[in-house]
A and B are shown apart, each in its own frame.
Chain A
Amino acid sequence: MMVKALINRVRFMGNGVLNISAGVGRAAWFFIHVLSWGSGFKAPFKRLLQQVYQLGVLSLPIVLVAGLFVGMVLALQGYHILVGYGSQEAVGQMVALSILREFGPVVTALLFAGRAGSALTAEIGLMKATEQLSAMEIMGVDPFKRIMAPRLWGGVITLPILTVMFSVLGIYGGAFVAVEVLGIYDGSYWANMQNSVEFNEDVIKGVVKSLVFAVVVTWLAIFHGWNATPTSQGISRATTATVVQASLAVLALDFILTAVMLGGF
């Protein structure tokens, strides 16, 4: 009995590992296929623009408002810590660096996964469940090119732009709290920031991070839609999987990217 239970355990674990590897393999195969939007892809620019609107413009309200509040809260918290050392003038530097390096890319990617990623998964999953993808295939139109590719590229283009907008709003939100509410001299808020923020070091690296997040989040979202079990519960599970996996991936990747960019530990 004991041995049998043990063997079953091992078998169960092995099965789990096999399933995970198969899933990773499928996702990789899927990614490569979606990337190739070569021949037979009509009106790519129009489709792309449509997705930039769907994924980007419609995400603007949540991203901008979040950016504003994150910047405001950072300035408030930072001020109360820095004032103990008498260096509250450095709050501008603190707000800018933390937003450009971390909060901008990470928070925007998390919001994007929740707003746009879940919508992508649900949309594609429902197309699959109602046989629309199948119908497209039969009509000789490759859904990878017609449906998936513009969405992937739309996401990859959109998220870095959203991140930049988030950061700008965050820095202005910080300025509002620091200068207008807490009474720091606005010259020192901006001058401290200007002295410490390096364009290549801070701004570019933040954008690079958000580019990586964009690929991962959009890829996961369309893959889970395409891979969804075509039932109502299947689609709900796929949507959840997108948000959970994309968020965890963003946080884990952020740590790895930061470590690499700072040049090790």
Chain B
Amino acid sequence: MENFAELVDLSFSRDGRLILDRISLQIPKGKVTAILGPSGTGKTTLLRLISGQLKPDSGDVMVDGLSVPGLSRNDLFALRKRLSLLFQSGALFTDMSVFENVAFSLREHTRLPEHMVRDLVLLRLQSVGLRGAAHHMPSELSGGMARRVALARSLALDPELIMYDEPFTGQDPISMAVLVKLIRTVNDQLSLTSVLVSHDVEEALSIADQVYVLSHGRIIGKGTPEQVRQTHSPELKQFLFGHVDGPVSFHYPSKPLEQEVLPL
């Protein structure tokens, strides 16, 4: 199986704290790869390393045969035209209407005539159910709607690799179901490669072809959704089934509570 992107023995630290610890993972072409893990384990960081916005301390990031950390600024921007990232916050351009947001990359990177831009944008908006909101401003949308516009925007240019950063957060059950289905159909119909970062275990497992589970900067489990579900690893089980007690700590690293509140 050919890999579209690959992390090789990659480490990354920020302000002296190790976020990713010698991680290796493969993202096969044409598949949906889910990366799961508790909050704060470096999932978003991982996406930013793939897109070249962050540089690793050591190790390598390969995207379509190119080593991302070594690319020049121009080559990096050329590569990024073929990638897409759905931000956790949506990151819509607040001074442009919904329509203009989705049209942005079409206008920047192509010379399509206006009527084609219009049709493409409306089709994208239709697929996320927001064609009717085309002329609203981002400030008039709810968080979940903004995220769906952002999704339409990231699909506008038919990217080869699309990375979703927590696409399900803040969605009501109906839009959640639509989005889950959309991510899968878009992947298959446009034969692109998807990376899905999430902590919504059930939704992610239902559409992924392969799964990596990250915790404290390490990969604690990988495989197909079935393999991951049937795991015996206590760490993995605790995360997947949401147990309160187990090897994964709920608390951010700190000194013991007694020491902090009862100084002697």
Query: Roughly how many angstroms separate A139 CA and B107 CA in the complex, as a whole number?
Result: 12
**A134 and B87 within 8 A (CB):** yes
CB distance from B82 to the nearest CB of A (A): 8
From B89-97, B124-132, B176-184, B218-226, give the one contacting chain A: B89-97
B11 at the interface (CB under 8 A from A): no
Q: Produce 1/0 per residue, B223-234, CB < 8 A to A.
A: 000000000000
From B18-26, B60-68, B73-81, B193-201, give the one contacting chain A: B73-81
CB distance from A105 to the nearest CB of B (A): 32
**B93 and A140 within 8 A (CB):** no
B83 at the interface (CB under 8 A from A): yes
Query: Roughly how many angstroms separate A40 CA and B80 CA in the complex, as a whole number?
Result: 13
**A131 and B89 within 8 A (CB):** yes
B53 at the interface (CB under 8 A from A): yes
**B94 and A132 within 8 A (CB):** yes
Query: Roughly how many angstroms separate A25 CA and B147 CA in the complex, as a whole number?
Result: 37
**A138 and B93 within 8 A (CB):** no
Q: Produce 1/0 per residue, B102-119, CB < 8 A to A.
A: 001101110000000000
A42 at the interface (CB under 8 A from B): yes
A135 at the interface (CB under 8 A from B): yes
A202 at the interface (CB under 8 A from B): no
- Contact among B51, B82, B108 for A141, CB-based, below 8 A: B108
Residues of B within 8 A of A201 (CB): none
**B81 and A140 within 8 A (CB):** yes
**B91 and A140 within 8 A (CB):** no
CB distance from B9 to the nearest CB of A (A): 25
- Contact among A130, A138, A146 for B80, CB-based, below 8 A: A138
* A42 with B53, Cβ < 8 A, contacts A130-B94, A132-B94 known: no
Residues of A within 8 A of B154 (CB): 139
Query: Roughly how many angstroms separate A152 CA and B79 CA in the complex, as a whole number?
Result: 27
**B108 and A138 within 8 A (CB):** no
Residues of B within 8 A of A140 (CB): 77-83, 105, 108-109
- Contact among A40, A135, A141, A146 for B87, CB-based, below 8 A: A135
**B89 and A130 within 8 A (CB):** yes
* A137 with B53, Cβ < 8 A, contacts A130-B94, A142-B77 known: yes
For chain A, residues 123 to 147, give those with C-beta under 8 angstroms from any C-beta of chain B. Answer: 130-132, 134-135, 137-142, 146
Residues of B within 8 A of A141 (CB): 77, 104-105, 108-109
**B89 and A138 within 8 A (CB):** no
Query: Roughly how many angstroms separate A42 CA and B111 CA in the complex, as a whole number?
Result: 10
**B93 and A132 within 8 A (CB):** yes
Residues of B at the A interface (CB closer than 8 Å) are 51, 53, 73, 77-85, 87, 89, 91-94, 104-105, 107-109, 154, 157
Q: Which 10 pairs from chain A and chain B are nearest by CB?
A: A140-B81, A131-B91, A140-B80, A135-B91, A138-B85, A139-B105, A141-B108, A140-B77, A138-B51, A132-B93
18 of the cross-chain contacts (CB-CB < 8 Å) are A130-B91, A132-B94, A134-B53, A134-B91, A135-B87, A135-B93, A138-B51, A138-B83, A139-B81, A139-B84, A139-B108, A139-B157, A140-B80, A140-B83, A140-B105, A141-B77, A141-B105, A141-B109
Instruction: Apart from A134-B87, A137-B77, A140-B105, list 4 A-B contacts with CB within 8 A.
Output: A132-B93, A135-B91, A138-B80, A139-B84
